[in-house]
A and B are shown apart, each in its own frame.
Chain A
Amino acid sequence: MAKACDQVWITGIGLISSLGEGAALHWNKLCGAGTLRPVIDPQRFAPYTVHPLADIDFSKQIPRTSDQRQMERWQRIGVYAAGLALADADIAGDQELLEKTHLCIAAGNGERDIALDSRILAGNHADGAQGAYLNQNLATGLRPTLYLGQLSNLLAGNISIVHKATGSSRTFKGEEMAGASAVADAVNRIEAGQGEVFLVGGALNAEREDVLLGCELAGSLYSGPHHSVWQRRPQGGGLVPGSVGAFLVLEAAEHARRRGVVPYARISGIVSDRSRRRVGEASSVAASLFKDLRLNPANEDIGVLSGASGVEPATSEELQFLAELERQKFKPVVRAWGSALGHSLEAHFFAGLALASLAVSNDAFYPPFDAFEDKGDAKSHPDRVLVTTFGHWRGEALALVQSAW
């Protein structure tokens, strides 16, 4: 197929997190004077800290209570943020446009019924009759619609139902890399003329024990006194999850021009790979991906929004990669948004792209998110921002966000 080679514009952002709601609010809070104070809750899931979602009135984007009832919280977070992005891109309510809006969603599983699980586990010691006991308790205890709150693709399904976006619908899995996969699918299709408008995004409800369990089983959860992502290494590293809904509208530039929409920025590159994570592999894979972005010239500031999770050794590998950029005479000004919002797994990469778009469109960059990060040139206003993600277990991806002009 001949490449249409159209530019990929970011024309809508929907972002909710522990800091609050909306792209502008995030920009203002993250660029505000003084040191950033992340919103954390160290008590509710002690010894783990989470970034709890700000108070959100879900009915503003999901008016029907019957819809809300059929979703678990991760879906409500996602559907809400998706609605913000569609509204921001001036697509919400436009039936004709929504019908051709393709969904590329990153998702894990939904939420378990923690109370039911706990009840069953507490009583699960009847000798010999364990199977019958389990069957009976599941068959009578599970809410019939709970499964619909758990299926990975039902975040996309609910977005179609609530917001009427129905061009097509694909859900990608694999934690952080699911985000990169979803964005790459959309970008590739736009560039090849296989679609014009895409709603991409993901959501995490960090405030639940089953998410914490998944991270803890993998040895990836941080449980010490709260520190930014760069400063957890002495305690062995680990991620601090944050509730986030992050969505973007990606659009073929020509399509956006036709309907007179002003973009935040454009995605000029998205590359990913998966190393086996032997020592040094993640950083060298990232270095080779960086080459594929063909960034020139060096000797200029480059804003780096790092998706570092705090999990080791991935976070140290990323620092090695960033140090290598300096050796190549780039001047990376690094900000890890996980320190501000928490780590949001499937939603994480989209959040980074959203923050990068805001920086580019505001022609300014963020002050440090913690004491470890260099202030950089105070007048720094990079017109290109590198967004990184090193999966806490696997996968390396880089995206380049640039001014659309």
Chain B
Amino acid sequence: MGSRMLDQKGRPVVVVTGIGLVTSLGVGADLCWSRLTAGHSGVKPITRFPTDGLRSTIAGTVDDFDITPTSAYDLSMAMAEAAASEAIVQARIGSVSRFPGPLIVATPPSELEWPHLDRLHDHDPGGDLTGYQRILANARTGLFADLAKHVRFAAIADRLQERFGTQGEPLSICTACASGATAIQIGLESIRRGDADAALCVGTDATVHPEGLIRFSLLSALSTANEDPKKASRPFSKRRDGFVMAEGAGALVLESYDAAKARGAKILAVVRGCGEKADDYHRTRSSPDGAAMIASIRRALADAGVSPEEIDYVNAHGTSTPENDKMEYLSLHAVLGEHLARTPISSCKSMIGHTLIAAGSVEAVLSVLTLNTGVLPPTINYDEPDPDLPLDVVPNTSRTARVSTVLSNSFGFGGQNVCAVFSGEPA
């Protein structure tokens, strides 16, 4: 065997050889990318369920799959399968039913939704039972075993493993809105350790249902700009008023550089490094000094062996909440300093909304596409800049640029901060 490709810390270089994507702009990375770089928005009024009386009635739903009745499990599953399949086909890795590495999948909450609770409650078990006693009595009949998939926390991982033949116990992970990035980080670490030559990293989320929407609404996290849905998500702009819930899935095939080269695979990008740091300040807000966010960015750069000046573009977390965008600016400024003014930073959430658990996966795929095409996706709806956040957000229209190294940020409730650095193929 020839010499191994190691990074400057002596670890195997890890590359991306396949990507797959589903967003509110469509199914497939190419389709999503063409619409995204054209500045289209996938945000629209919700038609899946009645929105009477709700403060937010818009979302970036994915309506391309024929799933009736729909559920978070079924749609998350379908999107994850589509994205993973696309990534595996592109990577030309393994065989149809055998992926030569582990599966790491970021999945949304596994829970019964109201149509399921209604079904369980409507059946008459006899007697005068009410509430959960009645539901439990009905569950005991075994007539509702089809609902188990909604409450098994690894059900999505299980089915993906069966479909794609991934190796070993699949991991189901949750780090809130950083989950997709965590999946990539775990895959990266595994390949660096030499535990695997390849990993399938997937993030998926389809939780636009009444309770899902209302929960975020009650935390005052959502935009209420319902009248013009495509204009609702306004990251970094002065009048941003919350994020727009969205659905989507992203998948990446990671491989060691050596394994990819050995089989003649096309290398799409290098995963240079990841960094994470937990915040201890608050359940939904980051520490006012941005310490944990700053640490996660610094750790990502350090892990990648990349200086702040080498970052050519930032794929922002950019949720469009007043809090996130302010803190993200502050943190980037702390790490990149003067270089930030020269660094374009855009938020794809302006167009596809916030895909929550999947966001880190989706945006990693978009970061790879930026490296591959030299096109920076825009931040749309940037009509009124926030003067406190002086950033080049690639306003409203995409731009071509030479991009060698991208920083992708993911921040989540519960103090979760994960950042990833991607570069083009090493010369």
Contacts and interface: CB of A to CB of B under 8 A. Distances in A.
A133 to B, nearest CB: 9
Interface string B1-36: 000000001111000000000000000000000000
B172 A174 contact: yes
A217 B147 contact: yes
A216 B168 CA distance: 28
Given A170-B175, A174-B157, A216-B139, A114 B280 contact: no
Contact of A138 (B152, B214, B219, B281): B214
B158 interface: yes
Contacts, number: 239
B127 interface: no
Nearest to A67: B283
B184 to A, nearest CB: 12
B152 to A, nearest CB: 6
Interface string B129-145: 01111011001101011
B173 A173 contact: yes
Given A188-B195, A217-B144, A174 B153 contact: yes
Contact of B215 (A1, A142, A170, A395): A142
Interface stretch (B51-59, B89-97, B197-205, B331-339): B51-59
Interface string B380-409: 000000000000000000000000000000
B278 A165 contact: yes
A1 B194 contact: yes
A150 interface: yes
A96 to B, nearest CB: 14
B136 A273 contact: no
Interface residues of A, number: 80
Contact of B136 (A130, A180, A209): A209
Nearest to B50: A131
Contacts of B210: 131, 134-135, 138
A153 B411 CA distance: 13
Interface string A323-367: 000000000000000000000000000000000000000000000
A168 B277 CA distance: 5
A139 B218 contact: yes
Of B50, B210, B283, B413, the most chain A CB neighbours within 10 A belong to: B283
A3 B186 contact: no
Interface of B: 9-12, 49-55, 107, 109-112, 114, 117-118, 121, 130-133, 135-136, 139-140, 142, 144-145, 147-148, 151-154, 157-158, 161-162, 168-176, 182, 186, 189-190, 192-195, 210-211, 214-219, 276-284, 292, 412-416
Give the 10 A-B residue pairs with the shortest CB-CB distance, closest first. Answer: A131-B50, A157-B414, A118-B131, A174-B154, A209-B132, A132-B52, A169-B278, A173-B153, A147-B215, A144-B218
